[in-house]
Amino acid sequence: MTRSAATPLPPPEERRRLRESHALPQAQFARRVGVSRKTVRAWESGRATPRGRKGEAYRKLLATATPTKPEPTGQQGPPSLSEPSESAGSSKRPDPSWPSERSAPSELAKSAKSSARSANSSPEHPVGRSALLPPVRPVRPVRPVRSIRSVHEEAAGPTTLTPAQAFDALYAFCAPALARQTYLLSGRRDLAREAVERAFQLAWDRWPEVARDRDPAGWVRAAAYEWALSPWHRFRPRYLRPEPPPSQPSDRALLDVLLHLPPPHRRTVVLYDGVGLDLPETAAETEASTPATASRLLHAHETLAARLPELSDPLVLHQRLAELASAEHLRSAAPPEVREGSERRARFWTRAVIALTLTLIGATAFTLYTTPTRYDPPVPPGETVQGVPPRVAPGPLSDRERKLRTKLREEMLHGPERLAPQPW
């Protein structure tokens, strides 16, 4: 069936936002359309296109859920990460920040209960398998806030953002929350700031690739996590000394439990319970399979519940992670400083590569100039010959030897004269 003009299909980055604007879980939305939850997830991520009668029903349901756009009041800056909005250019990540900073505990509890009831009542989540899967996360309502991609689309009409402006917008959108997330991974404030700066410096070096990526915020987040969890930091002198722990005893206990988890488990907990990614998205970002990610979550939750029993509730764990991350005031560098640092590092490595190349060329030329053009076989060392009598010194001559010597001396040195024939 062709797409109907009366029910236009929104772009993939808007479909999930329209669904969550009315607090509809994927399972409930899928039952209304008549498809599975995986199909709705594929439609929202852009991996598949709605077709047929169910696709038409999906478009009509999205059209009825389209909210009215708020009128802009004054000049709007880049979206703040403390607000519950979508990540930059991503439709599959509900919130890259910590939504509990702005959400009331009562609202989160109500949404958690409604999400749990809808998930347990769906055929994809039977009651018997609830103990084998990670707990259901609460559905957090999302307000219609402009994302980085919408800023790009609006600016692509009369005026176009320069690469530096687009990078500054992405940095202002992601850097504060990303610094708090890397602090939970590493437990060090300086390392968290350094990881965020290195990730954005790498993004500026590869900006054409990052700008065309479907999820620039996820690209930078993966780079920052890799740098923060690198095992080589333990050999750096500045990180051999322990860092002052948080001031609150509860925060110290939670951070100590997190740091005792294996790095893959710690990263999975931060992505799933802190950032708010789904299980398949967490598995994709950690480069692991979905069953392996679920096993990591179960083991991590068991460890957290054994050390801190109040963290057995997923909602309490999310709130505690948000409180621990927001308790540390991590200052981020300005976007121009990050871009200048990236360019300075690129110039340094470029000059180093040029110097190394010139050194190799000079060494090769000197070797070719001094290398001989012919081959001289080496002289073998002398060997002792066995069985030869030793050389003796000459003694006095006998009479016979004297006569022979005298006769030889009287003879001509060049032999006898040549005989020539003469005529008769």
In DSSP notation, 294-345 reads HHHHHHHHHHHHHH-GGGGSHHHHHHHHHHHHHHS------HHHHHHHHHHH
pLDDT band of 360, cuts 50, 70, 90 = very high
Q: Is the pLDDT of residue 313 over 90?
A: no
Half-sphere exposure of 249 (CA within 13 A, CB side): 1
Question: What's residue 200's pLDDT?
Answer: 93
pTM above 0.85, yes or no: no
Question: What's residue 126's pLDDT?
Answer: 35
Distance CA 273, CA 322 (A): 10
Assigned token pair, 90:
């991503």
Question: What's residue 350's pLDDT?
Answer: 93
Question: Which range is most confident: 7-21, 24-38, 193-207, 398-412?
Answer: 193-207
Q: Is the pLDDT of residue 367 over 50?
A: yes
Average model confidence (pLDDT) across the chain: 75
Assigned token pair, 14:
């808007």
Per mean pLDDT, which range of 98-107, 154-163, 355-364 is the poorest? 98-107
Question: What's residue 268's pLDDT?
Answer: 92
Distance CA 236, CA 238 (A): 6
Q: Is the pLDDT of residue 364 over 80?
A: yes
Distance CA 192, CA 198 (A): 10
Question: What's residue 397's pLDDT?
Answer: 83
Residues 6+ apart with CB under 8 A from 263: 185, 229
pLDDT band of 359, cuts 50, 70, 90 = very high
| Contact (CB, 8 A) for 147 and 217 | no
User: Which among 239, 204, 205, 198 has a CA at the least distance from the CA of 222?
Assistant: 198
Mean pLDDT of 268-273: 91
Per mean pLDDT, which range of 99-108, 204-213, 303-312 is the poorest? 99-108
Residues 6+ apart with CB under 8 A from 305: 311, 312
Assigned token pair, 263:
């790095």
Mean pLDDT of 203-218: 89
Q: Is the pLDDT of residue 300 over 70?
A: yes
Q: Is the pLDDT of residue 325 over 60?
A: yes
Q: Is the pLDDT of residue 79 over 50?
A: no
> Look-up: residue for tokens 């692509």?
156
Rounded to 5 degrees, what are φ and ψ at 315? -65, -40
Distance CA 245, CA 87 (A): 30
Q: Is the pLDDT of residue 230 over 80?
A: yes
Distance CA 362, CA 351 (A): 16
Rounded to whole angstroms, the maximal C-alpha distance in the chain is 155
Q: Is the pLDDT of residue 136 over 80?
A: no
pLDDT band of 103, cuts 50, 70, 90 = very low
Per mean pLDDT, which range of 111-115, 256-260, 318-322 is the poorest? 111-115
Question: What's residue 235's pLDDT?
Answer: 83
3-class secondary-structure state, position 81: coil
Question: What's residue 69's pLDDT?
Answer: 42
Distance CA 93, CA 106 (A): 23
Question: What's residue 46's pLDDT?
Answer: 77
Distance CA 195, CA 232 (A): 13
Q: Is the pLDDT of residue 117 over 50?
A: no
Distance CA 88, CA 118 (A): 29
pLDDT band of 151, cuts 50, 70, 90 = very low
